[in-house]
Amino acid sequence: MARYVDVHPVNPQARLITRIVERLREGALIAYPTSSGYALGVTVGNLEGRTRMQQIRHLQEGHHFTLLCRDFAQLGSVVFVSNAVFRSVKSATPGPYTFLLKATPEVPRRLSHPKKHTVGVRIPEDAFSQALLAELGEPLLTTTLILPGSQIPLVDGWVVKDELDHAVDIIVDTGECGTEPTTVVDLSGDEAEILRYGAGDASRFE
């Protein structure tokens, strides 16, 4: 049974953030709210956790996972950002966008696309995610919590508990959660390609 944790949406309690991060480092899989719906998250090195996320979402090999980054500096350590796309990415972060870019050697090869060698990156704007990343000190491997057969993410903590009580270890509830997934933009090629229209304004990349 998952532990259900109520966290303040504006001023996340430090003791709760510390405990969640401790559990992440012990191998926990968390379900947590973002401005773009609920997501699943594990530490980058958690192979079992990654497999559990794949099983929950019925994901195929080659699916682009996302590295949730605290800031642009951290993002720049895991993906290559050319001068051509620097301004576009910088101006859109933090925000409801996920960008696909070429992974740097800092990213384990198993986490990047097997052929394109790309990985998703995102800088969140919500207080909980930022507090979590600050305490963790590294990116969080994550994927939007869209259940098989659905096109939209889960957005309510108690619904997540009903659906995944025995599949995840921690469910975080801040009382606030976005209802649309992120806009996904592939910036790894010569031109931007919008792969999913979501909460972010996609017109800036068209």
- pLDDT single digits (tens) 119-174: 999 999 999 999 999 999 999 999 999 999 998 899 999 999 999 999 999 999 99
pLDDT value of residue 85 = 86
pLDDT value of residue 63 = 81
Rg of the Cα trace of the chain?
16
pLDDT value of residue 68 = 98
Would you state the structure tokens that stand for residue 155, as one six-digit string? 């957005």
**What is the CATH code of the structural domain delimited by 3-205?**
3.90.870.10
pLDDT value of residue 151 = 87
pLDDT value of residue 99 = 96
Cα 69 off chain centre by? 8
Residues 189 and 102: beta-carbon distance below 8 Å: no
pLDDT value of residue 103 = 95
Would you state the structure tokens that stand for residue 55, as one six-digit string? 């099983």
Phi/psi zone of residue 62: left (φ > 0), alpha (ψ -120 to 50 degrees), beta?
left
CA distances from 12 to 15, 174, 188 (A): 9, 9, 35
Name, in order, each residue with C-beta under 8 angstroms of 9's C-beta and a sequence gap of 6 or more: 126, 127, 128, 174, 175, 176
Would you state the structure tokens that stand for residue 117, as one six-digit string? 């060698």
pLDDT tens-digit profile, the chain (206 residues): 999 999 999 999 999 999 999 999 999 999 999 999 999 999 999 999 999 999 999 998 778 889 999 999 999 999 999 888 888 899 999 999 999 999 999 998 888 888 889 999 999 999 999 999 999 999 999 999 999 999 889 999 999 999 999 999 999 999 989 889 999 999 998 889 999 999 989 888 88
